[in-house]
A and B are shown apart, each in its own frame.
Chain A
C-alpha cells in the first residue's frame, strides 16, 4: 500500500510540478514577480475540493460522460492558456500592459493543472485513509510521492536557471508548447473513452520500445504527453497544436515588424 501510494501520488504531482517549474523559471527569466503563484494555490485548492467532492454528480452527468468532459475541458483550457502565455511573453517588450494578462493566464494554467491532478490525489487519500489499517501507509506514501515529484520539479527549475538566460527562455517556451499539445492529445483520449470522438486505429505501437509504465515513459508522458499507441486523430491534433505554438514567434515578430515600418 505504501509503495502504491508513492507511485500514484508521484505520477499526479509530476505533471503539475513540471508545468509550475517551467512557469516560475519563465517568470524569473522575464524579471516578473511570482505573485501569480500565490493566487494559483488557493484557487487550485478550492477547485480540487469542489471537483473531488462533487465527482459522483459530475461522473453521472452528460449521460455518464461528465468526468471525462470536465477533465478534457481542463486540459484543452491549459493548452489555450499556454498559447495565451506564449503570445503575451513574445509581445511583452512591446506592450508591457500585457503583464497582467500574463499573470492571469499563468494563474489559471497552474490552477487547472493542479485541480486535475489534485482531485485524484484527494479522492485516493480521503478514500483509503478512511480505512484504519491503510491510514499510515497512505499518508506516508503520499508524502514521499509528493516529495519526489516536487524534487523533480525543483531539479528541472534548477536546470533551467543554470542555463544562459536566452536558452532557458527558449527551452521554457518550447517545453510549454509540448506540454500543451500533449494535454490536447490526452483530452482526445478521454473524449474517445465516452464516445464523443470516434476511436481510430493506432498508427503505431512503440510500447515494446518505450513502455508508458516505465519511469522514462512516465516522464515523457508528463512533458510530451507520450502515448505508445496513438491514433491518427491524436497524432494530427498533437502536431497541429504544436505547430500553432511553434509559428507564434514568427507570426508575432512579423506583426511587430509590420508596425515598425
Chain B
C-alpha cells in the first residue's frame, strides 16, 4: 500500500518537476542569434531550444556556460543551462564567431 502510494507520488511529481523547467527559444538566421540577448532567472535550470534557420551548420558554444553543440542547417537542438549565479554569460556560434554572438543574462 505504502509502496503504491509512493509510486503514485513519484508518477505525479516527476512530470511536474519536468514541466517546471522554463523553456526558452532562440533562432539562428543569417549567422546571427535572434534574440542575441536571453534573460533567464538566476538559480534555475532552464531548457534552451536553438533553431538553426540557416542552410549551413552552426555550433552553439559558450566557455562561460560550458556548453557546445553542433546544430545542422534547418534543425534544432536542446541545451539545458544552469542553475546559474546572477551574471552575464556570452555564447557564440563557433562556425561564424564574428557575427554569431549572444549572451545569457541570469538575473
Residues of A within 8 A of B (CB): 4, 7-8, 55-56, 59, 64-65, 67-68, 120, 123-124, 127-128, 130-131, 189, 192-195, 199, 201, 207, 211-213, 227-229
Contact = CB atoms under 8 A, between A and B. Distances in A.
Contact of B80 (A128, A194, A227): A194
Contacts of A201: 83, 85
A213 B94 CA distance: 12
In the complex, the 3 A-B pairs of residues with the closest C-beta atoms, listed nearest first: A64-B78, A127-B57, A195-B80
Nearest to B67: A193
Interface string B69-106: 11111010111101101000000001111100000000
A193 B79 contact: yes
A59 B63 contact: no
B63 A55 contact: no
B45 interface: yes
Nearest to A197: B80
A55 B72 contact: yes
A183 to B, nearest CB: 14
Q: Taking chain B's interface residues, is the majority helix, strand, or loop, or is none over half, making it mixed?
A: loop
Interface residues of B, number: 28
Interface of B: 45, 47, 56-57, 59, 63-64, 66-73, 75, 77-80, 82-83, 85, 94-98
Contacts of A120: 59, 70
A213 B63 contact: yes
Contact of B56 (A7, A56, A127, A193): A127
Nearest to A189: B66
Nearest to A55: B72
Contact of B57 (A4, A64, A67, A123): A123
Contacts of A124: 57, 59, 95
B64 A229 contact: yes
B63 A212 contact: yes
B95 A55 contact: no
A194 B72 contact: no
B56 A228 contact: no
Contacts of A123: 57, 70, 72
A216 B69 CA distance: 23
